[in-house]
Amino acid sequence: MAGKFELKTSSNGKYHFNLKAGNGQIILSSEMYESKSAAENGIESVSKNAGDDARYERKESSNGKPYFNLKASNGQVIGKSEMYESAAAMENGIASVKSNAPGAPTVEA
């Protein structure tokens, strides 16, 4: 089963999305957007930038856990990963975004 973008409305009326892998696991989460169209533009940007390894910013949290940000061409963060137990697991997460994001359908949750 292929991945999908899940578009949600939060309790405060703002929008955000998660990219889920085929197994249902969240592999990338967005920021909050003021409008649905802005969130949809974010999804489009993730799809467009996911295949470019240079757009991934590999980071480490204060407790030493690796994670990554996906950035748009303007340098803005368009998605953030979960915290991983190892750098290898983080690289698997990046590979999953690269394979799932392009062409993934958007569903409203």
Query: Range of 23's domain?
Result: 4-108
Instruction: CATH number of the domain at 44, please.
Output: 2.30.29.80
Distance of CA 97 to the CA centre of its chain: 7
The SS3 call for residue 70 is strand
pLDDT (tens digit, 9 = 90+) per residue, 14-24?
999 999 999 99
Q: Which residue has the tokens 């169209």?
A: 37
| 16: CB partners within 8 A, 6+ apart | 7, 8, 10, 29, 30, 31, 32, 33, 39
Whether the pLDDT of residue 7 is over 90: the answer is: yes
Strand locations in 1-109, DSSP E? 4-9, 15-20, 26-29, 56-60, 66-71, 77-80, 106-108
What is the rounded CA–CA span in Å between residue 101 and residue 21?
9
Whether the pLDDT of residue 2 is over 90: the answer is: no
pTM of the model: 0.93
pLDDT (tens digit, 9 = 90+) per residue, 38-61?
999 999 999 999 999 999 999 999
**Domains: count for the chain:** 1
Q: Which pLDDT does position 1 carry in this prediction?
A: 62
